[in-house]
Chains A and B, each alone.
Chain A
Amino acid sequence: MELLDNLFDYERKPSAGEAIFFKIFELFVALASVKLAWEWGLYTLRISDVVLPLGMARYVDVSFMFDGRLPLANAGAITVLVVIGFFRLWRGAYLGAFLLLHLQYAARFSLGEIPHSSNMLGMTLLGLAIALLVFRDGLHRRRFTLGFTYFFVGLGYTLAGISKLIGTGLNWSDGRHLWLWVYEKSVDNLAKTGTYDLNVLQELVLSGQGTATAFLTVGLLTELFAFLAWWKRTRTPALLAVIALHIGIYLVMNIFFTLAVYELVLLALPWAAWLDALTARQPWMHGIERVSIRYT
């Protein structure tokens, strides 16, 4: 039960900053979901064949999404549902948006790519959807959504670390593995931009096996210990370490999970406390607080 206290923290006194922060966080999730829906929808117009079925595409032939403008209609439906959910006009709206976004994902990623950049956002949208359906009280919805998100963010990164230990073993951190990935991502960059360059950090990890091994070891430990985000006391350092991991991955391997990093920044830092301090100094912030509570 101590873990549940740390995750959901129902006993904590509600504050203006918390209510405002939650609505900002929800706005981020809503906008990001709409962005993905349209990006995936527009790209699906280029697709005519399923190379690797993912998600529901393993059970349902999603090639009907390749005819006409259906992906755009689906993106439109997701947008409408997200707006309805955001303004609390229908409790099932976010669940509907989540299910349609899954369909959009299954259609878009049917060519073989299995991206993970949107998983965290998807889990958060699911958390919001469940919170709206299960809880009627705004405070409970806020606390549940954030607790649910902390839990699955921590679990996700720790699972990534465990997958590496299962997939390769303790020698996953062997620096030569990183060399291979650095060249892989450089070829990706050649395909993407037409240029083939190695930056200073890439040159550094390629210069010696020890450096590359140290880099991978720190990354693996960061992932394995990401479950520390479940506890209040260790949450901020665990999430900041994950953000640093993403920055390192970007510099060495040219991979950046933009939406995931933005969400991690929202989850890691004490925004609610900062907003409380601002509200204490700026009385007009109470207007925003009232609107935030009204739509929670």
Chain B
Amino acid sequence: MTDRRGGKRVIVNAAIVQLRPVTRQKKSLRVLLGTLLVYAFLVATNLGEFWPFSIYPMFSQGGIPWSRAVVREVPDDSVRWESTRLEHLPGDPYPLAQHGIDHIDLANFVSKTEIWDDDRLAALRKMFGEDELDRRHLLVLRARGRISASDLVILSFEPYVLLTHDETMSSDHLPR
């Protein structure tokens, strides 16, 4: 256990070798706890979301009514601005995926817009693109679902905005 300069060096090296795993673990623990702290702080101060940190609240509230959006291609601008059922939806389906539009984005855009001012309607037009609106009349409807007292799921579809090549018409029920 001795070398040319005596025994101490060997003992010190052995101690370092033994300590290394503990040091690595301590370092890892500190970093993990530090990240966890930042995680907790950011989700606590940002309503549970600060990508990629999250409390993952999706589907956490069971039984509450939901809201989505669907788009229909209609032949003209004569729209009945009244709520309707799935089997009575006007026009033809406009499959958003084929046109590169995220259906969840549209659903949130429709449900989270509180004031339908000109800027918001212009943003909706931009989502579809003017080229597309030159060719089609698109009706954006808000879909709602809820459970009735008799345990049936009730779906309803309310026309919100009609987009044509030269006009943007919205339901009178929308706050402006």
Contact = CB atoms under 8 A, between A and B. Distances in A.
Interface of A: 1, 4-5, 7-8, 10-11, 43, 46-49, 51-52, 54-55, 58, 102, 105-106, 109, 111-116, 118-123, 125-126, 130, 134-135, 140, 144, 147-148, 151-152, 156-157, 159-160, 163-164, 166-168, 171-172, 174, 176-177, 179-181, 183-184, 187-188, 190-196, 209
A180 B25 contact: no
B175 interface: no
A55 to B, nearest CB: 5
Contacts of A119: 51-54, 56
A172 B92 CA distance: 37
Contacts of A147: 28, 32
25 contacts: A1-B25, A10-B21, A11-B21, A47-B126, A111-B109, A112-B107, A122-B52, A123-B53, A134-B27, A140-B24, A147-B28, A163-B60, A164-B60, A168-B60, A180-B63, A183-B153, A184-B145, A187-B68, A187-B143, A187-B145, A188-B104, A192-B95, A192-B97, A193-B98, A194-B92
B49 A51 contact: no
Contact of B57 (A167, A191, A192, A196): A167
B70 A180 contact: no
A294 B102 CA distance: 41
Contact of B123 (A47, A118, A163, A187): A47
Task: Tell me the dominant secondary structure on chain A's binding face.
Answer: helix
Nearest to A105: B51
Contacts of A194: 92-95, 98
A5 B72 CA distance: 57
Given A48-B122, A164-B60, A191-B106, A55 B70 contact: no
Given A11-B21, A181-B59, A116 B153 contact: no
A157 B123 CA distance: 35
B104 A168 contact: no
A121 B32 CA distance: 17
Indicate the member of A106, A126, A180 with the most B CB atoms within 10 Å: A180
Nearest to A166: B60
B61 A55 contact: no
Contacts of A46: 100-101, 126-127, 129
Interface string B133-164: 00000000001011100010101000000000
B55 interface: yes
Nearest to B70: A191
Contacts of A113: 102, 104-105, 107-108
Interface of B: 21, 24-25, 27-29, 31-32, 35, 46, 48-63, 65-66, 68-71, 86, 92-98, 100-109, 111-113, 119-120, 122-123, 126-127, 129, 143, 145-147, 151, 153, 155
Contacts of A7: 28, 32
Nearest to A179: B153
What 7 pairs across the A-B complex have the smallest Cβ distances? A112-B108, A122-B52, A194-B93, A167-B60, A177-B62, A160-B56, A194-B95
Contacts of B126: 46-48
Nearest to B114: A51
A7 B29 CA distance: 10
Contact of A184 (B66, B94, B151): B66
A11 B120 CA distance: 58
A130 B68 contact: no
Nearest to A162: B55
A167 B63 CA distance: 11
A116 B21 contact: no
A48 B70 contact: no
Contacts of B50: 54-55
Contact of B51 (A5, A55, A177, A181): A55
A135 B23 CA distance: 12
Contacts of B102: 43, 113
B48 to A, nearest CB: 8
A183 B145 contact: yes
A43 B99 CA distance: 12
B108 A111 contact: yes
B123 to A, nearest CB: 4
Contact of A160 (B58, B109, B143): B58
Given A144-B28, A188-B103, A180 B120 contact: no
B52 A121 contact: yes
Contacts of A190: 70, 93
